[in-house]
Chains A and B, each alone.
Chain A
Amino acid sequence: MEQLYYEDVTIGSEITPLVKQPTTRQLVMWAGAVGDYLPIHYDKDFARSRGLSGVIVHGQLVGAFLGQLMTDWIGEKGILKKLSCSYKGMNYPGEVLTFRGKVTKKYVEDGQRYVECSLWAENSKGEKTASGMAIVILHSRG
């Protein structure tokens, strides 16, 4: 894994995108890993009875993908301080989701080097189904 440093980042820099295609199997794995057994994530008929068009991807799995986007990008020495995500649209298993982000701010405070990013998830139709932000601490090359 490559190490990202504070000097490598400028406002507007793009975060290396992360592509996922969650399958129903992955939803089951996530359900087991976090203990989320809500049937809207595995029972199509139940999901429809709740007004959904089918089984949906767990919002928090989308949040965790954004977490991976960030930890992949910042490397071993980077520290993720904040991550927020708002789920704007439904994601369905089988869809290709691309997780993206851009640097919006960088500053030094109390000797720490902070970088803020805006993040989003988009499906293959180009719809933003989630958006959020992250704050990370990076080391200096110096």
Chain B
Amino acid sequence: MAEGSLDIDRLRSKLGAEWEPRSYQIEREMIRRFARAIGDPNSLWQDGVIAPPTFILAIGFEQFVDEVMSLASFGTVLMGGTELEFYHPIRLDDVITVSFKLTSLRERQGKMGKMAFMTFDSTYKSQGQELVAKCRQMVIGY
């Protein structure tokens, strides 16, 4: 990607729009794999029934990154920060629906060309439409 070629205007047109929600069924091995990846031996999640609170970072993240990358043909994105609020623990067999929204955007010239500083807000709801968590992510694309 050539320097400074970010299409910020296209990105700006996505501000405030909620992406189509996606649902994910939580499987035992997703929870266990997540705990192993952190190296977290807490007995609460060893049997894959209750997920660690930060497990929400895994739900829909792959699709999130794909969509963010395609918003402005970024070379890469870096995470600048994460804010999580937890309302209910996520459990095995829950069906969690995630929706993301780009809530702020500013651009800056960096040593690698134009950089976009984006804030995304997401909500996680259970099969019973109960709010289980909220997440705000600061993402830097360049």
Q: Which positions in A face B, CB cutoff 8 Å?
A: 1, 20, 26, 29-30, 32-40, 46, 49-51, 58-61, 63-65, 67-68, 71-72, 76, 79-87
Contacts and interface: CB of A to CB of B under 8 A. Distances in A.
A38 B52 contact: no
- Majority SS of interface residues in chain B? mixed
B82 A84 contact: yes
A119 to B, nearest CB: 12
B26 to A, nearest CB: 13
B82 A85 contact: yes
Contacts of A35: 58, 61-63, 65
Nearest to B83: A84
A81 B106 CA distance: 29
B39 interface: yes
Most A C-beta atoms less than 10 A away, residue of B38, B52, B85, B111: B38
A87 B140 CA distance: 11
Given A80-B86, A82-B86, A71 B53 contact: yes
